[in-house]
Chains A and B, each alone.
Chain A
Amino acid sequence: MEGLAMLKYLISQLHQLFHDSSSILLQQQQPSLPTTIFLHPPPPTTTRWTSFDSEEDSSVDDCCDLVMAAGKSHSFRISEPLKPPPAKKPRKDRSRGKSLGRSCSSEVMEQEIWKDFPEDLFEAVIARLPIAAFFRFRSVCRQWDSLLASQSFSQHCAQVPQENPWFYTITHENVNSGAMYDPSLKKWHHPSISPLPTKLIVLPVASAGGLVCFLDIGHRNFYVCNPLTQSFKELPARSVKVWSRVAVGMTVNGNSAGSGYKILWVGCNGEYEVYDSVKNSWNRPGNIPGSVKLPLSLNFRSQAVAIDSTLYFMRSDPEGVVSYDVATRVWKQYIIPAPLHLTDHTLAEYDGQIMLVGLLTKNAATCVCIWELQKMTLLWKEVDRMPNIWCLDFYGKHVRMTCLGNKGLLMLSLRSKQMNRLVTYNIARKEWLKVPGCVVPHGKKRQWIACGTAFYPCLTAVA
């Protein structure tokens, strides 16, 4: 591609203007650039994502019943520890000798200056690229490849408003690594290695600030990772003796994972603990008050919802919601009668509003419904339904639904004996969209999504 003559600008200090002679702009040698100072060790960011082969597996209904394909071992490449990013190299001055020439556009510049593009300017642009494009352009040069470890780049990323979440899913066919769905491109991405220990089966249970929290299938250990960069941490062991099933919620301190995050687990007997990433420790702030009825019949199929510093969990007996504020350490209970004929229901949230998603089955007709919680009356009010024509596909069939993601954009996995539908629902726009089948590279068979969670892609979130 022919290089275009173009104008380059000197970014000069203001006081230099007084010393420049008026009309001739001097070509200046690019001063050597300051070395980037890393305030903490760069996280491992080597990402290796290539295709993998799907394997046949008998499908099971609920992700919690996943019989361990533990016998299956896949070979995965283990993330390499990151080589320290190179110091910023001074750019060579690019004088092309075409200093006085016509640009392709119609007007002619009086003077044309060749100058290296000021380096921090491209960070402002790169931070605004879609995620996949960012990963492609990491191949531009070494400096771009190491942007993930750059403080200034993190700051640029933090200023860019978050778009739609992605979905990190575990498929029945391959329980060891996830498939990720990007709703803005309507594409599935398949990492070839799991960001997590390969011998364990772990399930995504919560997410906040671009990080996903995983719990192993035995409900023992927690792991946190950024699915995009594979920044990963195994959380310290909890102080329980019995590994019973728990519900999990996650919040970030402030606006992003940069200020740390908290993870809460709660069990049916009222036991709970909160993990603080800043202190890297679990803490039991007290007991659930008597106002919350025990045992907590937690709805484990429903993800917890986080609004600011409060986590909301669905429960039954009595039907409703329990909440915990990680800032004030207060538990509250809300008794909310469930809609009739409701199954497979989960909590969701949009813009501070608590929602409910579930299947309504009446007289062999099944439909997906969306409710909003009326705060004054503590009643669910139906606000939307899946288009009837899609619901007809389920007529007379026994359908199960899993809701992945619970904030703003939901992914619903609808399964009956022969059918496996994936649909996204945009709460704000009340928009139902079909999701293309999840097919691995070089594969043809559609994968069955067992479970998953939404996460807001954040290149710089560190576990």
Chain B
Amino acid sequence: MAQEASSSTSSKTISLKTGDGEIFEIEASAAKQMKTVQRLIDDLGDDITIPLHNVFSKELPKIIEYYKKDITGEITKDFEAEFVKDLNDDEVKVLFLAANYLDANKLFEFLSQNIADRLESKSVEYVRKYFGVENDFTPEEESKLREERAWSFRGIKEDE
């Protein structure tokens, strides 16, 4: 059971337990930014380890890192760029879903924009796979739509 030591004894920290059983500490002020966590704290009290069944040990530290910066007002464009720099599209998606579950609005909006930026140059098929969406157009319908919207495809070289 991994446990990060609280940085200071004076600021209140909350213990969060991930779906895979690891425990992480977060400052109460950062926990406030995640409405789901805050609601759980309101219901369960802040002395109990808050269970987050749908967030895992891979994502939570990253999310905690984001909100640590947020409460000190240090989130800049550079920080955000650095934050996602080494993440692949799927890792960003996992973080995005976690941010949604945690109702962490600022992170959610930032990641929505980042995903939109990543998908902008991708193919229609990639986007389908990414969101787990099935193509319910017939081939004829699809080619007709493409033809009608040819202007939006013009000059675009779609990444796989």
Total B residues in contact with A, Cβ cutoff 8 Å: 60
CB distance from A93 to the nearest CB of B (A): 10
The reply to whether B145 and A25 form a contact with Cβ atoms under 8 Å apart is no
Please, which residues of chain A bring their CB within 8 A of the CB of B21?
22-23, 110
1/0 contact string of A94-120 vs chain B (CB within 8 Å): 100000000111010111000011100
Chain B residues in 8 Å Cβ range of A117: 97, 131-133
Nearest chain A CB to B140's CB is how many angstroms away? 13
A421 at the B interface (CB under 8 A): no
A135-B112 CB under 8 A given contacts A92-B134, A117-B131, A140-B133 = no
Q: State the CA gap A1–B129 with chains docked (Å).
A: 9
Out of A92, A104, A139, which one reaches B142, CB within 8 Å?
Answer: A139
Partner of A142 from B39, B43, B137, B149 at Cβ < 8 Å: B137
Which positions 70-126 of chain B face chain A at CB distance < 8 Å?
88, 90-91, 93-94, 96-98, 100-101, 108-109, 112-113, 115-117, 119-120, 124-126
B7 on interface, CB distance cutoff 8 Å: no
Contact A124/B112 with A49-B151, A110-B56 known, Cβ cut-off 8 Å: yes
The residue that A9 contacts in the complex, of B97, B132, B151, with Cβ under 8 A, is B97
Chain A-chain B contacts (Cβ-Cβ < 8 Å), number: 161
Complex: chain A residue closest to B100, CB-CB: A121
Q: Residue A76 at the B interface, CB < 8 A?
A: no
Q: B4 at the A/B interface (Cβ < 8 Å)?
A: no
A48 B129 Cβ-Cβ under 8 A:
no
B residues 124-155 with Cβ under 8 Å of A?
A: 124-129, 131-137, 142, 145-155
19 A–B contacts from the bound complex (CB under 8 Å) = A1-B126, A1-B160, A7-B94, A12-B54, A14-B40, A25-B19, A49-B151, A49-B152, A89-B136, A109-B56, A110-B19, A132-B152, A136-B149, A138-B149, A139-B137, A139-B145, A139-B146, A142-B136, A187-B154
Q: List chain A positions with a Cβ less than 8 A from chain B.
A: 1, 3-4, 6-12, 14, 17, 20, 22-23, 25, 46-51, 89, 91-92, 94, 103-105, 107, 109-111, 116-118, 121-122, 124-133, 135-145, 187, 189-191, 441
